[in-house]
């Protein structure tokens, strides 16, 4: 049986009529950029996360960049973040004019280790950029306390974690700004690029709105140098339809992840570990496995698609060579990069497919 890593077509067919109605309504309305559909999505996303403001932008990367700009982070500043994430997390810091400083991760959660973050704080540190990797919330309370003590801003990269909760609070609502991606593979996704910044701070919200539209609010005066990062109405319409299903989809992901954990119990690997007060959304179901690359090749031969997120941590990427990091500087991230393997997991996946995938993994690793 071929088990695809992700199946977007099945999801589309299930809600096709609603999606096509929403798209037709936008086409008939004749307004395609920053119109009433974007405004409605901004309100709905903000309400679902328990914050007053949501600002639609063109991508998750732009959400990070604009949040940094809106918080006055730029040249001469340092931003502490994780090396075990997609490059956009760190590239947004560079694009804003600041310097990324990498701190090591916790081996069980793959998220920033607050103790390691504490060691990286300097007089130039301006913010902590936290990633909720694979849909699992980072340990926010110690990070927020660290930020409070040092008067740092906290930006949450929630690209993989829409709907995840940390001690009863939605991720994105805990720091100074939360940044989301609507890339097509995300739990809450458009059919193209899109993103959103959410915040409790009206000044941050106002500045993101300004910056996303060339630094202007009325097309006559330009207050500062901005960019073109406007969420379009068609993508907003698609995301609005999917938002109505997201809670159920995320719950299905949690149930399938628990089923994987049960089936893989006793195998020579490490499954995602539960933690009190943490409710993940399993954007990825990621195991740690010895001889990862060989196992991946064998699973592909069986028709089971897998992915590796991420095979080279950012501090060892050529683009960041000038920062001066060396191998073994961040051992937990480097070890994780050698061992992580993401198995198929999405709401439309069947229990039978999970059984087959888990059985194949167990047979290969013992």
pLDDT digits (tens, 9 = 90+) for 230-288: 999 999 999 999 999 999 999 999 999 999 999 999 999 999 988 899 999 999 999 99
Helix axes 60-70, 87-95, angle to 10 degrees: 40
pLDDT at 21 over 90: yes
Average pLDDT over residues 120-148: 98
Residue 283: per-residue pLDDT: 98
Query: The pTM is what?
Result: 0.97
The residue with tokens 């040092």 is: 150
What residue ranges define each of the domains in the chain, with the CATH number in brackets? 8-103+110-243 (3.40.640.10), 246-365 (3.90.1150.10)
Burial of 327 (0-12, 13-18, 19+ CB in 10 A): exposed
Average pLDDT over residues 186-215: 97
Contact (CB, 8 A) for 227 and 216: no
Comparing 221 with 55, the larger pLDDT belongs to: 55
What gap in Å lies between CA 121 and CA 316, rounded to an integer?
21
Show the CA angle centred on residue 248, arms to residues 17 and 303, nearest 5°.
Answer: 80
The model's pLDDT over 308-358, given as tens digits with 9 standing for 90+, comes to 999 999 999 999 999 999 999 999 999 999 999 999 999 999 999 999 999
> pLDDT exceeding 70 applies to what percent of the chain?
100
């Amino acid at each position: 049986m071929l088990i695809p890593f992700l199946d977007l077509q099945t999801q589309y067919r299930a809600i096709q009529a609603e999606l096509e109605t929403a798209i037709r309504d936008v086409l008939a309305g004749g307004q395609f950029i920053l119109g009433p559909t974007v405004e409605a999505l901004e309100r709905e996303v903000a309400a679902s996360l328990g914050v007053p403001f949501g600002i639609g932008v063109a991508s998750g990367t732009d959400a990070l960049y604009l949040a940094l700009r809106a918080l006055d982070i730029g040249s001469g500043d340092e931003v502490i973040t994780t090396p075990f994430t997609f490059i956009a997390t760190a590239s947004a810091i560079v694009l804003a004019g600041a310097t990324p400083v990498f701190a090591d991760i916790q081996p069980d959660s793959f998220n920033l280790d607050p103790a390691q973050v504490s060691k990286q704080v300097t007089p130039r540190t301006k913010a902590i950029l936290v990633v909720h990797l694979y849909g699992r919330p980072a340990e926010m309370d110690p990070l927020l306390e660290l930020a409070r003590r040092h008067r740092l801003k906290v930006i949450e990269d929630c690209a993989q974690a829409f709907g995840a909760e940390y001690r009863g609070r939605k991720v994105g609502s805990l720091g100074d700004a939360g940044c989301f991606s609507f890339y097509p593979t995300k739990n809450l996704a458009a059919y193209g690029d899109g993103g959103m910044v959410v915040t409790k701070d009206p000044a941050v919200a106002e500045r993101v709105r300004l910056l996303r539209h060339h630094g202007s609010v009325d097309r006559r005066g330009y207050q500062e140098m901005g960019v073109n990062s406007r969420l379009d109405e068609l993508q907003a319409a698609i995301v609005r339809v999917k938002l109505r299903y997201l809670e159920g989809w995320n719950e299905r992901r949690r149930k399938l992840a628990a089923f994987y954990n049960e089936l893989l119990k006793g195998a020579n690997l490490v499954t995602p570990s539960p933690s009190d007060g943490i409710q993940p959304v399993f954007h990825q179901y990621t195991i740690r496995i010895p001889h990862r690359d060989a196992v991946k090749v064998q699973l592909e031969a069986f028709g089971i698609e897998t992915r590796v997120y991420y095979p080279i941590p950012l501090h060892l990427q050529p683009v960041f060579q000038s920062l001066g990091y060396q191998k073994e500087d961040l051992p937990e991230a480097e070890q994780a990069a050698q061992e992580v393997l993401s198995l198929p997991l999405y709401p439309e996946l069947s229990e039978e497919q999970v059984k087959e995938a888990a059985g194949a993994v167990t047979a290969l690793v013992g």
